[in-house]
Amino acid sequence: MREYFRYFKWMYIVLGALVLLFVFLSAGHLALARMFGHDRDNQSCTTTERVFDYGDVLTDEEEEKLRRLIAKREKQTRCDIVLITLQESLKEYAREIEPGVGYDEFVRVYAEQFYEEHNFGYNSPNGDGIVLVDNWYREDDGRIYTWLCTTGRVKDKYSDAAVDHILDNVYRYVEKNPYRAYKTYINDFYHDMLGIQVFTLYVPGYLPWIVGLAAAVIFVVCNRRSKKGDKTTTALTYTGGVQPRFRVRQDRFLRKSVVTRKIQTSSGGRSGGSHGGGGGGSHGGGGHSR
């Protein structure tokens, strides 16, 4: 056991350091939230509501829990946080405002218009804030669409990768547990805004290979230091000194057959970029579908 620990003690040291770092960052994260949290500056917002469950996918208790969580996170992030669920086609609504807009951006048009019509924004009308629109209606193209709209400081903060990440987390739970999905949206946004995304782990695909290779190299180097066992037997030990003979067997390649098939994918895509709403605001964000 001691030998095992001696070879792998560096792993335990690294894990211990990571735990201490996580505790330190968590404490700093909470300190930042308390330091920067203050009352909103925008008094022109037309509503105090933040949870618009038009799609009726949440219970009254779940809505109230989300309202309380949003109120807390808004003060900590200094951003308006809005959640909207729908259960209706947005085709006519969106194309009346933006003729020819695609199915995947109906929810974008709705999100931007809703944000501007109600003058959301923690610092000013159409200012810092975010809104998630999840429309449970299956449009004519057979897809259900969701859009994350960012405005003001949030728009500058969120890259396409960050938008994808938060929507992926929402989609992980939304079908089986909408409350958990929307709670994840609120908390992920809070961590992103105050934590400089230190709590959002983006792992490159090649990183596990590098870690595995490094661990293998270290293991080989450590074990080379151990004493090598002495040879007690050879190939002639049990043959009476006669050189053993081995039959030679060969595999011959005769032919090959290759069959190709095209596999259709059903995974939802995304679109993003900067957009201007009907009220003249500037918005960013992106969308997913399922």
Tell me, yes or no, whether 130 lies in a domain. Answer: yes
Tell me, yes or no, whether 131 lies in a domain. Answer: yes
Confidence class for position 251, pLDDT limits 50, 70, 90: low
Q: What is the mean pLDDT of the chain?
A: 79
pLDDT of residue 198: 41
Tell me, yes or no, whether 227 lies in a domain. Answer: no
Residue 243 scores a pLDDT above 80 = no
Residue 263 scores a pLDDT above 50 = no
Tell me, yes or no, whether 221 lies in a domain. Answer: no
Q: Which two tokens stand for residue 282?
A: 């500037």
* This model's pTM is above 0.75: no
Residues 6 or more apart whose Cβ sits within 8 Å of residue 25: 195, 198, 199
Closest CA to 218 of 22, 20, 4, 7: 7
CATH assignment of the domain containing 82 = 3.10.310.50
Adjacent-strand bridge partners of 142: none
Tell me, yes or no, whether 3 lies in a domain. Answer: no
Closest CA to 270 of 83, 105, 151: 105
Residue 212 scores a pLDDT above 60 = yes
Q: Are 163 and 148 in contact (CB under 8 A)?
A: yes
What range defines the domain where residue 147 resides?
A: 37-202+270-289
CA angle 189, 194, 195 (to 5 degrees): 95
Tell me, yes or no, whether 71 lies in a domain. Answer: yes
pLDDT of residue 254: 62
pLDDT of residue 40: 73
- Give the whole-angstrom CA distance, residue 288 versus residue 290: 7
Each residue's pLDDT tens digit, 143-199: 999 999 999 999 999 999 999 999 999 999 999 999 999 999 999 999 999 875 444
Instruction: Give how many domains the chain has, as a whole number.
Output: 1
Tell me, yes or no, whether 159 lies in a domain. Answer: yes
Each residue's pLDDT tens digit, 119-131: 999 999 999 999 9
Tell me, yes or no, whether 2 lies in a domain. Answer: no
pLDDT of residue 4: 55
Q: Which two tokens stand for residue 132?
A: 């998630």
pLDDT of residue 242: 67
- Cα of 202 vs its chain's centroid, Å: 8
Lowest mean pLDDT among 73-77, 91-95, 148-152, 281-285: 281-285
Q: How many CA atoms lie within 13 A of 132 on its CB side?
A: 28
Confidence class for position 21, pLDDT limits 50, 70, 90: low
* 150 vs 213, higher pLDDT: 150
Q: What's the rounded mean pLDDT across residues 279-288?
A: 83
Q: How many CA atoms lie within 13 A of 32 on its CB side?
A: 15
pLDDT of residue 277: 57
Q: How many CA atoms lie within 13 A of 49 on its CB side?
A: 12
pLDDT of residue 52: 98
* 16 vs 207, higher pLDDT: 16
